[in-house]
């Protein structure tokens, strides 16, 4: 689909008139939007003089006029879209603001060229609801000298429409790797001191949200106990010595 468009564009640059005849597009361009956000219908804009630019809406086989671009102005002809449409690139790019679920439809761009040829581009808009923020629960942490085993459970509130869930992981400085599409994962780490991030991702084609946990916050490796040792030294060795020194100084002051 994309390659076809760029091939057409190349042809356009060499033989403009050829494209204008054959530039009909069959399958609509897929556009995903998010509720209350905005979306733009964009395509390869032709740098040719345009006579007329009209936007239409196709709903259950019927065609409705949406807007017309005239004298550098977009005239909105459908009250449902009042104050929600903006045009650019000579009217050939349309932006819809404050998206509603019912805006999911097929949109049609009709460009009439100077030579009266009409080029049509279809856009299939699907508006999605935002996905909820996933929640991670850590269970059954078993820490031994060489192993750290635990279970992670990722969930989303059941009363909101959600997308698909997946687990990704990465080590410090590396990219994310796909792990699994299951919501519950059992992790067994052997002698692993690197800090690993485990990320639960919830997404639909319009939105995505994630939550992470870090292995160092779950597992206690011998390396981390070293830090505890220094705290232990501070508390039980350095502090008493300081107190003793102060006591000696005070005693010296009293007796001299
Ligand atoms: C979308 O906007 C409407 C009206 O402003 C508001 O009631 C609703 O909560 C919003 N929904 C989301 C998911 O942002
Ligand atoms: C528009 O997109 C939706 C969601 O992907 C799909 O279900 C529908 O069949 C598409 N319609 C057309 C006319 O391509
Ligand atoms: C889902 O349920 C929770 C509590 O059970 C409630 O606070 C929240 O508003 C609900 N969300 C929706 C979208 O109904
Ligand atoms: C952790 O899991 C591994 C692999 O499942 C197992 O061999 C090992 O005994 C487990 N360690 C502990 C401390 O339970
Ligand atoms: C996770 O969410 C944060 C903040 O919302 C975002 O910056 C980050 O790109 C997301 N990560 C992934 C892998 O989607």
CA-proximal residue: ligand 4, atom 9 (nearest): 147
Bridge pairing between strands 196-204 and 207-214: antiparallel
Cβ atoms within 10 Å, residue 112: 14
What is the CA(211)–ligand 5 centre distance, in A?
Answer: 8
Closest CA to 86 of 75, 100, 70: 75
pLDDT band at 219 (very low <50, low <70, confident <90, very high): confident
In Å, what is the CA distance from 114 to each residue of 17, 65, 70, 95, 195? 11, 22, 14, 25, 63
What's the CATH number where 150 sits? 2.60.40
CA-proximal residue: ligand 1, atom 1 (nearest): 36
Q: Which of 100, 128, 156 is the last residue of a domain?
A: 128
Ligand nearest to the CA of 140: 4
Q: How many domains does the chain have?
A: 2
61 and 86 share a domain? Answer: yes
83 in ligand 4 pocket by Cβ < 6 Å? no
Closest CA to 57 of 107, 130, 97, 95: 107
Report how far residue 152's alpha carbon sits from residue 19's, in angstroms, rounded to the nearest whole number: 55
Q: What is the dihedral of CA 10, 16, 17, 20, to 10 degrees?
A: 70
Q: Which of 81, 109, 128 is the last residue of a domain?
A: 128
- pLDDT at 154 > cutoff 50: yes
Tell me what the mean pLDDT of segment 153-168 comes to.
85
Ligand nearest to the CA of 58: 2
Report how far residue 96's alpha carbon sits from residue 238's, in angstroms, rounded to the nearest whole number: 67
The C-alpha angle 70, 74, 78, rounded to 5 degrees, equals: 115
**pLDDT single digits (tens) 4-53:** 444 444 333 333 333 343 444 568 999 999 999 999 998 875 666 778 89
* Global pTM value: 0.71
Report how far residue 127's alpha carbon sits from residue 146's, in angstroms, rounded to the nearest whole number: 49
89 and 105 share a domain? Answer: yes
What is the CA(100)–ligand 1 centre distance, in A?
Answer: 9
CA-proximal residue: ligand 2, atom 10 (nearest): 124
Q: Is residue 101 part of a domain?
A: yes
Q: What is the pLDDT of residue 23?
A: 47
Q: Is residue 18 part of a domain?
A: no
Q: Is-contact 79 13, C-beta < 8 A?
A: no
What is the CA(160)–ligand 2 centre distance, in A?
Answer: 23
């Amino acid at each position: 689909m994309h390659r076809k468009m760029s091939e057409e564009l190349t042809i356009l640059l060499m033989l403009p008139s050829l494209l204008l005849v054959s530039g009909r597009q069959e399958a609509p361009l897929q556009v995903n939007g998010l509720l209350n956000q905005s979306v733009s219908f964009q395509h390869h804009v032709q740098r040719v003089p345009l006579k007329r630019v009209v936007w239409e809406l196709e709903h259950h086989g019927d065609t409705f006029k949406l807007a017309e671009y005239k004298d550098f102005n977009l005239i909105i002809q459908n009250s449902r879209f009042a104050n929600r449409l903006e045009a650019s690139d000579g009217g050939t790019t349309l932006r819809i603001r404050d998206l509603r679920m019912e805006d999911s439809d097929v949109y049609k761009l009709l460009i009439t060229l100077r030579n009266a040829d009409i080029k049509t581009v279809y856009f299939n808009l699907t508006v999605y609801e935002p996905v909820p923020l996933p929640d991670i629960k850590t269970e059954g942490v078993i820490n031994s000298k060489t192993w750290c085993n635990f279970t992670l459970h990722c969930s989303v509130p059941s009363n909101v429409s959600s997308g698909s869930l997946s687990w990704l992981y990465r080590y410090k400085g590396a990219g994310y790797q796909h792990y699994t599409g299951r919501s519950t994962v059992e992790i067994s780490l052997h002698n692993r001191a690197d800090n690993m991030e485990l990320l639960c991702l919830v997404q639909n084609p319009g939105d995505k949200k994630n939550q992470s946990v870090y292995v160092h916050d779950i597992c206690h490796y011998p390396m981390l106990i070293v830090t505890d040792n220094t705290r232990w030294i501070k508390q039980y060795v350095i502090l008493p010595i300081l107190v003793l020194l102060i006591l000696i100084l005070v005693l010296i002051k009293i007796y001299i």
